[in-house]
Amino acid sequence: MAGEAQERRENKLPNFLLSVRLKYVKLGYHYLISNAMYLLLLPVLVIASAHLSTLTIQDCVQLWNQLQFNLVTVTLGSSLMVFLATLYFMSRPRKIYLVDFACYKPDSELICTRETFVEKSNNIGCFSEDNLAFQKKIIERSGLGQKTYFPEALLREPPNPCMAEARKEAEAVMFGAIDKLLAKTGVKAKDIGILVVNCSLFNPTPSLSAMIVNHYKLRGNILSYNLGGMGCSAGLISIDLAKQLLQVNPNSYALVVSMENITLNWYFGNDRSMLVSNCLFRMGGAAILLSNRSSDRRRSKYQLIHTVRTHKGADDKCYECVFQREDENRKIGVSLSKDLMAVAGEALKTNITTLGPLVLPMSEQLLFFTTLVARKVFHMKIKPYIPDFKLAFEHFCIHAGGRAVLDELEKNLELSEWHMEPSRMTLYRFGNTSSSSLWYELAYTEAKGRIKKGDRTWQIAFGSGFKCNSAVWKALRSINPAKEKINPWMDEIGEFPVQVPKLAPVVSSSSS
């Protein structure tokens, strides 16, 4: 019996799941499908080359003589080819370059620790005991660190939320980021022909874009736009708008400024759906310089490859899941629905369905299509195939809206901790800075020396409405961190990444 058992073990096939790493099998399949065209063309080229090598000088002379007798045909054919080539190069979209960008880093006096946040909330005296405990619970699980920033007006006791202080915060953020950007690029303010500013909740008159025009004395024929009420994904809407404007305005620079303003938009009521925003949003902003000048390619960091915008506002549930309104005591705040994560998931699904065919290799598209046909046509009970976006992108900048959002996207897109690191560290270090968070994340990736020439970066953000927007960038050169002096991370990048605990207890001053 022992001998028979031994013989069965010897004749049994090995476990291929253990002997072969499936990820390498998948990688081999990916390269095979992606390079299938080249593999098929190679034999044709070899045969053609072999045939051409048999031609003699006499054959070439005979061919030339035939062309001389068909001069009219050759001339017409050449003219047509030149015309079509000219038409193609004149009609194709202009290439859009990201020359550089800069993120605002507030002064250390504006640092708001978790303990400071809880203490300020308690000292205001407008929150119930239950809601103070609720905010403390949120902040302990938020993923925010001890060095996020609050505007000066809200750090005072008592707070002083007024129009003058809100303008002061806006000027500090916008001008701080723009000053750094102009210093990095050497571009003069007078050279900027397009200006797009986005801030969802603070929309004064004159507008934020007018404040920039006035401060930097921009030229009178500047194309100026101010986007309001479009949520945390408005930064990518601004990029898309600037791209459209650059397509029809040759030889131009476009300045995009993304920010949020907290001073007038902190909620002083007791509706819990509005208190979450208080705990997550922090002070920050970014300025981005785009160009359509071919001469700027050599000094630019990135080229804009794709922008994809998804709007689910036609659905009432999506439209109402992030809503600014008054509570029962007429206190204004932004209410977050319990359906937010489900709505974000649906918007993401629509967005990546559009983006996928533009960026995914043929191997992934083939697997996705095969699975879809098997499920929809043949009604096979198999899981829907989730494309591997890691084959399309080297870097991911996911809006740091909160820990729950990042956890969900990490799981659904099957990303690693390394891919999520820029988003998690940005949430930890700067908090949710709304539409500008994507740029703090890209700045983190640069500071870590991860950007290499040819790398592709996917920026993805969610916003009220409900919207999900994407932008795809291709690195035109490798980024040397040693040369990135104006970067909000550079003076402390050695401290990151840090381990972010699931629960970071807030120790009150009384208990300490």
The catalytic site residues sit at: 232, 311, 395, 399, 432
Cα distances (Å, whole numbers) of residue 426 to 161, 283, 303, 433: 26, 12, 23, 9
* HSE-CB of 262 using CA atoms within 13 angstroms: 24
Crossing angle (nearest 10°) for helices 22-34 and 362-376: 100
Which tokens sit at 129? 């005991």
Take residue 92 and report the two structure tokens written for it. Answer: 């194709």
Is residue 398 within 8 Å of residue 337, measured between CB atoms? no
Cα separation, 289 vs 500, in Å, equals: 33
DSSP strands (E only) in 104-239: 111-112, 148-149, 192-198, 223-227
Angle (CA) 122 124 129, round 5°: 40
Pairing mode of beta strands 302-311, 96-103: antiparallel
Q: Which pair of tokens denotes residue 115?
A: 């303990």
The residue whose two tokens read 């303008």 is 167
Nearest 5°: the CA angle 446, 452, 458 is 70
- For residue 177, the SS3 value is helix
